[in-house]
Amino acid sequence: MLKRTEMTGPRAELQKSIDSRDAAAKRINELRASIARIEDERFAARQKLAATAREADESNGRDDVIERLLAGETSTAVLERAADRKEVTAAESEIETSNRALSLLRAELAGAEQSLELRTNRVRDAAGAVIATEALDAIVDDATRLRGELAACEAVLSFVHSLVRGEHKAKVERALVSSEIRGEHPSVAPWRAAFEELARDAAAELPR
């Protein structure tokens, strides 16, 4: 494996893209952790308001007040009796601060997620550039060579097909990729010559 200091060209660009993507993913994790923490803090503040409501309205059995506070309604107008204003004010302030922070963080998270998608696509493109630069020519050459070898084999099989009978003919047909008649191919020449030689000499060798 190449060391980072040795990377040049497409691989260096790929490493930059990977670092950029990973940084974006790390930021998303940080934002999600912050959002979860602030949501917990906001819920704790809502619980404080609910506890205050229980103390203030306990005699009235106002369960709906508690449910409204836990659902996010922070106005002390829902309380019918005076509560501990200091605790209520602190809880309301904490909830409001949490709401503002969550609004900002969620907007930043949405942008960070879009950025991660873009940077992930750049990594894919950069990885493709490495493959294109370092391996594509060899892959194309192999494909061309193998295609040529296949064409040569099929041409020979097509030639042999006319010489054999019965189960041998069926075996040739199964081996052919398609049933179309092959035209002349250089690979057939030595086999045609061998066939003609066999017709004259039973000890004639076959092509290798």
Q: Is the pTM of this model over 0.85?
A: no
- Based on its alpha-carbon atoms, the radius of gyration of the chain, rounded to whole angstroms, reads 39
Q: In this predicted structure, what is the pLDDT of residue 66?
A: 61
Q: In this predicted structure, what is the pLDDT of residue 13?
A: 93
SS3 4: helix
User: Which two structure tokens, joined as six digits, stand for 2?
Assistant: 């190449």
Each residue of 109-147: pLDDT tens digit? Answer: 999 999 999 999 999 999 999 999 999 999 999 999 999
DSSP 8-state secondary structure symbol assigned to residue 5: G
Where does residue 40 rank: exposed (0-12), middle (13-18), buried (19+ CB within 10 A)?
Answer: exposed
- Residue 207: what are its φ and ψ, rounded to 5°? -60, 150
- Name the percent of the chain in helix, strand, coil, to the closest 5: 80, 0, 20
Q: Structural domain boundaries of the chain?
A: 7-134, 142-198
Each residue of 31-68: pLDDT tens digit? Answer: 999 999 999 999 999 988 888 767 665 545 556 656 66
Each residue of 63-119: pLDDT tens digit? Answer: 665 666 667 665 545 554 444 677 788 888 999 999 999 999 999 999 999 999 999
Question: CA-to-CA distance for 121 and 10, rounded, in angstroms?
Answer: 15
Length reported for the chain: 208
- Residue 6: what are its φ and ψ, rounded to 5°? -95, -5
